A and B are shown apart, each in its own frame.
Chain A
Amino acid sequence: MPVYLTLTRRELAAYFVSLTGYVIIAVATFLVGLSFALLLTKLHDAATPLPVTELFFQTPFFWLILLVATPVITMRLFAQEKFSGTYETLMTAPVGDGQVVLAKFTAAWLFYLLMWLPLLATFLLLRRYSSDPAALDAGTIGGTFLGIGLIGAAFMAVGLFASALSRSQIVAAMICLAGVVSLFLLSFMGDRVNLNSGWHATLFAYVDMPDHMGDFARGLVDTRAVAYYLSLTILFLFLTLRVVESRRWK
C-alpha cells in the first residue's frame, strides 16, 4: 500500500511539475467557460424543462473536452518512461506490476477529475444566481459528476492501455484517440443503421454514451451504465497489466 501511494503521488505530481498539467486544465476551463456562456444564452432566450446539467451534455463541449483530453492526459504514463528508460529503474524496484498499473491509472483519473472542477464552479454560480433553486439540486450535480467520473475511468483505462503499447507518446496518443473515438461513435451506431427493435438495438442502447450522460445529468443512476463503464475500466486495466507483464514472456 505505501508503494502504491508513493507511486500515485509521483505520477500525479508529474502533471504539475511540467507544463502539460496546467495547459490541459487551462484549455478545459476555457471550453467549460465557453459552454457555460452558451448555456446562459440559451436559458436567456427560452425557458426549458430540462435540468441545467443535462443541457450541458447536449453541447458538444463536454465530448470535445473528453475526447481530446483523454489522450493528452494518458499518453505519457508508460510511453514516456519507456522512452527515457526510467521504466527500467521503475520495474527493477521491488514493486508489483499491478501496483504500477493501478497507481498510474489512479493518478490519471484524479487529474481528470481535477480538470472538471471548474464545471462544478459554473453549476454553483448558476445555482447562486438563478431564481429557481430546483433547476440544480444535489442529485443532478452528484449524478453528473458520477457520470463524469465513470466515463473518465473507462477512458483513462483505454489511454493507459494505449500508452503501455508504445514507446512513443505520439503513437500512444493516436492509438488512444482511435480507441475513445470508436467507443464514442458506437453510441450512434443504433441510429445510423436504423435499428429500432431487436437485440441489436438493445445492444447499441447499452453503449450509447450521450444517453447515459443524459440520465446521469437528470440524477438518474442506471446500473446498466455504471456496469458498462466499470467493465470497460476493468477490461482495459487488465489488458494493460498483461502488456506490462508481457516483457516477462519475451
Chain B
Amino acid sequence: MNGGSIIEVSDLTKRYAGHTAVSNLAFTVGRGEIVGLLGPNGAGKSTTMRMLSGFMPATSGTVRVAGFDVFAEADEVRRRIGYMPENNPLYLEMRVREYLRFRARLKGLGRAQTRSRVDVVLAQCGLTDVSKKIIGHLSKGYRQRVGLADALVHEPELVILDEPTIGLDPVQIRAVRQLIREVGRSHTVLMSTHILPEVEMTCSRVMIMLGGKILAEGAPDTLQQVMSNGSPVIAEIAAPAADLQSCWATVAEVEYFDIAAGADGFHRCTLTPRGGVDLRERVFAVAHERGWALRELTRNRHTLEDIYMQVTRANEEEES
C-alpha cells in the first residue's frame, strides 16, 4: 500500500427535485484507513456512497477514486471498489459459491482466478460450510457475509459498506465487525452507520454527517479530546462554601461556577472555563495554596455519543 489518498471528494452536491441530499461535501480518505460515516437516517450517507460507487451521478462536484474520476472513468473506478449497498441486496435464488463465482466473473476475473479468489473469500468470511446453500435460506448474518465476500472477491483497493450491520442480532453484529476489522488491515474501508459504538470499535477516523454536510471529523480519540476542551471541571473540595465562592470569583479563567454541598464538609464545584482552557492544574494549585483537601478532580470527557448529540443538536438549533 503506497500512501496518499484513495478517495478525493470535492464540492460534491446532490440535489433531488425539491431538496438537497448532499451539499458541498469535501473530504479525502487515505489508503489503509477505516473511515466511518456517522449520521442519523436521512443525513445523506447512502446518497454519498452511491455517488462514490458511481451508481448515481452528482449534481455538481467531483469524486476521484484512486485518481480516476468516478463518472468519466467509471469502469476503472468500479474495478477498484468493492461496494455493498444498503440492505445488502443479493440474488436469493442462487447458491453462495455460484453467486460469488458469477460476481467474480462479472468483475472481470478469469476462470482460474475466479476459482481461487472465491475459495479465498469463502474462507475469509467464514462461508466455506454454507457454500452450497441457497442464499435465500441463509440467516441475515450469513447473507451479510456473502455481501462482504462479494465486495472483496476482486481484491478491490477500496471497500465501501453501507450500513453493514443493520438488522443483525448482537452476536452477528460482533462477527461482522470483527470481519470488517480484519478487512481493514489490508484494504481501505469506508463504512456508514448510525450506530455509535460501531465506529468507536472499528474505525480509525469518523466523519459525522447531518443534513448533507460533514459537521465534525477526526479520529474517535481526537474528536473526543477536541470536543472535551471547554467542558466543565468538577472538583470536590473540603472548604466552606463562602470561601469557595469568593475564591472562584477571583480566578480569571473561570467563566462561571456552581457549588453544591456534598457529604462530610466537601463541596462539589462545577467550573466552566473561559476560552476552552483546561482548568484542572489551576484548581489543584488553588487547593494546594489554601490547604484545602481535594478528593476529586475530573473533566467531563465526552463520549462519541455526546459529541454526536451536541453536533447534531447545535445544527438543528441553527436551522430553526
Contacts and interface: CB of A to CB of B under 8 A. Distances in A.
B299 interface: no
A83 to B, nearest CB: 10
Given A88-B50, A89-B150, A249-B57, A94 B79 contact: yes
A77 interface: no
Interface majority SS (helix, strand, loop, mixed), chain B: loop
A202 interface: no
Report, as a range, how many residues of chain B touch the other chain.
20 to 34
B75 interface: yes
A46 B178 CA distance: 78
A248 interface: yes
B261 interface: no
Interface string A226-250: 0000000000000000000001111
Interface string A186-212: 000000000000000000000000000
Contacts of B94: 10, 17
Interface string A112-132: 000000000000000000000
Interface string B42-76: 00000000100111110000000000000100110
B75 A85 contact: no
A249 B58 CA distance: 9
Interface stretch (A1-9, A53-61, A65-73): A1-9
Given A6-B102, A7-B106, A93-B78, A248 B57 contact: yes
Interface majority SS (helix, strand, loop, mixed), chain A: helix
A89 B105 contact: no
B55 A94 contact: no
A92 B57 contact: no
Contact of A92 (B71, B81, B86): B81
B12 to A, nearest CB: 16
A95 B74 CA distance: 10
Contacts, number: 69
B56 A84 contact: no
B106 A93 contact: yes
A86 interface: yes
A237 to B, nearest CB: 21
Interface string A1-43: 0110011001000100110000000000000000000000000
A88 B89 contact: yes
Contacts of A249: 57
A154 to B, nearest CB: 28
A96 B54 CA distance: 12
A112 B93 CA distance: 21
A86 B85 CA distance: 9
A92 B102 contact: no
Nearest to B151: A89
B93 A17 contact: yes
Nearest to B95: A17
Nearest to B76: A94
A85 B86 contact: yes
A88 B105 contact: no
A7 B105 CA distance: 9
B301 interface: no
Nearest to A5: B105
Contact of B106 (A6, A18, A248, A250): A6
A6 B105 contact: yes
Contacts of B85: 85, 88-89, 92
Contact of A94 (B87, B91, B108): B108
B107 A94 contact: yes
A90 B102 CA distance: 11
Contacts of A91: 55
21 contacts: A2-B108, A7-B106, A14-B93, A18-B93, A84-B89, A85-B87, A86-B89, A86-B90, A86-B91, A88-B55, A89-B85, A91-B55, A92-B78, A93-B78, A93-B103, A94-B78, A94-B107, A95-B106, A247-B55, A249-B57, A250-B57
The 8 closest A-B pairs by CB, nearest first: A85-B89, A94-B78, A6-B105, A88-B85, A86-B89, A17-B93, A92-B53, A93-B106
Interface of B: 50, 53-57, 71, 74-75, 78-79, 81, 83-87, 89-94, 102-103, 105-108, 150
Interface of A: 2-3, 6-7, 10, 14, 17-18, 84-96, 247-250
Given A3-B106, A14-B93, A85-B86, 5 more contacts: A3-B108, A89-B89, A91-B55, A92-B81, A94-B79
